[in-house]
Amino acid sequence: MTRESESGKPIEPVYGPEALKGWDPREKLGEPGDYPYTRGVYPSMYTGRPWTMRQYAGFGTAVESNARYKQLIANGTMGLSVAFDLPTQMGHDSDAPISHGEVGKVGVAIDSVDDMRVLFDGIPLDKVSTSMTINAPAALLLLLYQLVAEEQGVGPAQLTGTIQNDVLKEYIARGTYIFPPKPSLRLIADIFKYCKAELPKWNTISISGYHMAEAGATPAQEIAFTLADGIEYVRTAVASGMDVDDFAPRLSFFFVARTTLLEEIAKFRAARRIWARVMREEFGAKNPKSLMLRFHTQTAGVQLTAQQPEVNLVRVAVQALGAVLGGTQSLHTNSYDEAIALPTDKSARLALRTQQVLAYETDVTATVDPFAGSYVIESMTDDLETAIVDLMRQVEDRGGAVNAIEQGFQKSEIERSAYRVAQETEAGERVVVGVNRYQLDEEEPYEPLRVDPAIEAQQAERLARLRAERDQAAVDAALAALAAAASGDEENVLYPMKEALRLRATVGEVCNTLRGVWGAYVPSETF
């Protein structure tokens, strides 16, 4: 019986040479580290060094998150990945009425440079690579990070890391947008220019398919809609006067790894091939680094279950293996208890140990692209490439990513796929161990990590103290300068923004200043 992949393509029981449709792998695939990068973006891949092992963490106050980061570093984490709470992601201060009940819940609360200073206290920013999952206010958090580094005596040229900074996927799948698309894209272009001048090693954007996948996108949809967003960002930067090779080497991507191992490996290989071709043929990129699709992977949170949570350890290990065999540059492994609550110290450590076992106890790092030439993988890579390119063409036919978003195209396609999966699971056609098959009569007790609700009051007290201590006239003048820069098209808004934050303006005050100039995004009825 022939099965179908997650993207709806047939998976045959047996594959042979005919699956390659007459092409010679040596001619089509190229070598690792060479165009079209199907086999990986670096010649040696993990034979030289393993991927960067990141753990996504952040909850409650900056003090609590700082302690978790230090534990992760002590346990062997090679890079930090910061989770921010919902008010921070939406550009609101912790004491704003709209923030009530959400402070510190899904990430750390950061209201000002004071909080950022505490968050990275005792962590050498010239030695640690930091990824920040922040989008609409990405510029603010990057500047706060730079200000804290400067206080540590670390120069901007020494800082390495990534801001997610991908607002287009927020309109499609996640919803933590602030400004309308046009000024949001202008802000992203300003970030590209600022980092080229000030933070040359910083990855200016992590173009994300992960959240679309978590919302229900198939692997083909995940890659197609993410690359379409990437094309929109490149066009925006080029239209602002930048040369493509001035910023493209610092672009990065963020994808999910599901339990469907074979298709995930093929997905990553197809994505590299398509992006290399787009950058060379559409944008005329000359620098080989501009053609490389470098990406971070996170295991699939949506596939974790609250039932029999220990089974998630197995799921995460399989997902992580798919990411590694697919050639990821960095990896976050979810903790087994994330379907229930914030990860405990023990579960976060086990998630990291999963990566360390793959890196140091298996032989997957001994050779580059282990599945190259596999009949099934090469056939699935070709099939996925065809499906992805077709979806990208449909986005282009609607006028590009932004126009397609405003027409609701990507969102409706993802919702259709999510509904199909829900129906299959409900009917038992799609097996989810512990949920619709192999259930237990009674689940074992589990004590989750909980965030203290007193955090909200503590943050409000910190904000009151900050506003009493700072030079309010200087802050007001800096915010006025920011508003003036945002009103025009010539000035890069990050320079006046940094000055306002240095003077201890809050995240909410800066975002409200920009809301006053640019407005706030309201979805159309298409959604």
| pLDDT score of 451 more than 80 | no
Question: How many structural domains are present in the chain?
Answer: 1
Q: What is the pLDDT of residues 206-257, one digit of tens each?
A: 999 999 999 999 999 999 999 999 999 999 999 999 999 999 999 999 999 9
Alpha helices in 14-61 (DSSP H): 25-28
Question: Is there a contact between 47 and 368 (Cβ–Cβ < 8 Å)?
Answer: yes
Mean pLDDT of the region 420-445: 93
- Average pLDDT for the chain: 95
**Rg of the chain on CA atoms, in Å:** 23
- Which domain range does residue 178 map to? 3-427
Residue 271 DSSP SS3: helix
pLDDT of residue 246: 96
pLDDT of residue 526: 46
Mean pLDDT of the region 323-332: 97
CA dist 182 and 187 (Å) reads 9
| pLDDT score of 339 more than 50 | yes
| pLDDT score of 279 more than 50 | yes
Copy the structure tokens of residue 337.
């208890």
Neighbouring-strand partners of residue 205:
251
Question: Is there a contact between 353 and 335 (Cβ–Cβ < 8 Å)?
Answer: no
Q: How far is CA 329 from CA 204, 249, 433, in A?
A: 16, 14, 30
Q: What is the pLDDT of residues 43-78, one digit of tens each?
A: 999 999 999 998 877 888 899 999 989 988 898 887
Q: Spell out a b/e string for 372-391, using b for 16 or more CB atoms within 10 Å of the CB, else e.
A: bebbbbbbbbbbbbebbbeb
CA dist 230 and 287 (Å) reads 17
Q: How far is CA 232 from CA 169, 237, 239, in A?
A: 12, 9, 10
Place of tokens 């609409």: 136
Contacts of 499 (CB under 8 A, 6+ apart): 478, 481
pLDDT of residue 60: 83
Tell me, what CATH number does 392's domain have?
Answer: 3.20.20.240
Mean pLDDT of the region 446-465: 88
pLDDT of residue 1: 58
Give the containing element (helix H, strand E) for 186: helix 181-198
CA 441 from centre of chain: 37
Q: What is the pLDDT of residues 345-401, one digit of tens each?
A: 899 899 999 999 999 999 999 999 999 999 999 999 999 999 999 999 999 999 999
Which of the two residues, 314 and 445, has the higher pLDDT score?
314
pLDDT of residue 31: 93
Q: Give the model's confidence band at 337: pLDDT under 50 very low, under 70 low, under 90 confident, else very high.
A: very high
Mean pLDDT of the region 490-501: 97
Query: Is 489 domain-assigned?
Result: no
Query: Is 37 domain-assigned?
Result: yes
pLDDT of residue 49: 94
Give the side-chain half-sphere CA count within 13 A for 395.
27
Q: What DSSP assignment string belongs to 377-394?
A: HHHHHHHHHHHHHHHHHH
Give the containing element (helix H, strand E) for 233: helix 219-239
Query: Is 244 domain-assigned?
Result: yes
Query: Is 486 domain-assigned?
Result: no
Query: Is 395 domain-assigned?
Result: yes
DSSP class of residue 35? T
Query: Is 484 domain-assigned?
Result: no
pLDDT of residue 155: 96
Which of the two residues, 228 and 452, has the higher pLDDT score?
228
Q: Report the percent of the chain where pLDDT is more than 90.
A: 87
Query: Is 20 domain-assigned?
Result: yes
pLDDT of residue 527: 38
Q: Report the percent of the chain where pLDDT is more than 70.
A: 99
Q: What is the pLDDT of residues 119-173, one digit of tens each?
A: 999 999 999 999 999 999 999 999 999 999 999 999 999 999 999 999 999 999 9
Q: What DSSP assignment string belongs to 428-491?
A: TSS--BTTTBS--SSPPP---B---TTHHHHHHHHHHHHHHHS-HHHHHHHHHHHHHHHHSSSS
pLDDT of residue 525: 57
Copy the structure tokens of residue 334.
């979810």
Copy the structure tokens of residue 272.
């590299």
Mean pLDDT of the region 458-486: 98
Query: Is 177 domain-assigned?
Result: yes
CA dist 85 and 105 (Å) reads 6
Q: How far is CA 322 from CA 106, 289, 348, in A?
A: 27, 24, 20
CA dist 380 and 270 (Å) reads 9
pLDDT of residue 524: 73
